[in-house]
Amino acid sequence: MIRVSCSKLEVVRLNPSIFAQQLAAKTKNRNGSYGMFACWQAIVKSLHANQIDFSQAKIGLQQKFITFKNSPVNRKKQEFLLDRLTPYWELFQSKNLTYLGPQKDIYWNVTPEVALTGRPPHLASDGGKYIAYFYSEAPVSWHTQLKYPLIQYYLAKDVFKCDPEQIQIGTYCLKTLSFDLITYSLNEIENSILETQNMFNNIYQEYSSYPKSND
């Protein structure tokens, strides 16, 4: 089974042939590192889970930052992230949302041979509706990305067992201190699924045509 991560979907979308070649050659792009923004997200997750209170969250984040090099650039980013804890937490509380946490990792057989995988967004409920969001440090142009309508549909079908239009999906931006959420229409979701199925079928066909590495 070929797996395509949600986080890599736009890169694959731009050039599915290159992705198929990399799969056949068994090459992997390893560029993951646990950075300061990841520390911020981990602390907020613990805060939502009631594992720590807010004062402990600030102290915990400062302690995590000690492991990074003491440089002007890092100090500036650390100040930014520390400054963003209070506005996020106050906004979330003011909306009377119930935090549901990220659920199990996404695994969706979009086609028989290719699955969409990845980490789920953070989830919260607002009465009879739900919101799903990823954190971003700065504003990003995400509305036309494939993963958002796909995840909206996946959550409705596999997690909440609800109508897809009961879910808002998007981002919380640390720079703007705001949520940016939309609900994709059923037509937009259907078009996204169809595009992804076609792309995944092409990937599998190309992958099958290449000689495989013996590594």
Q: What angle do CA 93, 181, 88 make, to 5 degrees?
A: 30
Give residue-wise pLDDT tens across range 119-159: 999 999 988 899 999 999 999 999 999 999 999 999 999 99
DSSP 11-75: HHHH-HHHHHHHHHHT---------HHHHHHHHHHHHHTTSS-HHHHHHHHHHHHTTS---HHHH
pLDDT at 127: 82
pLDDT at 214: 55
> Are the beta carbons of 172 and 208 closer than 8 angstroms?
no
The pair of three-digit structure tokens given for residue 23, joined into one six-digit string: 């799969």
Q: How far is Cα 167 from Cα 198, in angstroms, rounded to an integer?
A: 25
CB atoms within 10 A of CB 203: 21
pLDDT at 32: 41
The pair of three-digit structure tokens given for residue 213, joined into one six-digit string: 């590495």
> Are the beta carbons of 144 and 162 closer than 8 angstroms?
no
Of the listed ranges 30-39, 95-104, 109-118, the one predicted with least confidence: 30-39
pLDDT higher than 50, residue 31: no
From 129, 121, 122, 54, select the one nearest 85 (Cα to Cα).
54
Average pLDDT for the chain: 92
> Are the beta carbons of 170 and 148 closer than 8 angstroms?
yes
CB atoms within 10 A of CB 83: 11
**Region of residue 161 (phi > 0: left; psi between -120 and 50: alpha; otherwise: beta):** left
Pairing of strands 2-5, 114-118: parallel
Residue 27: pLDDT band (50, 70, 90) is low
pLDDT (mean) for 170-198? 98
From 29, 28, 1, 25, select the one nearest 215 (Cα to Cα).
25
The residue with greater pLDDT, 142 or 29, is 142
pLDDT at 139: 95
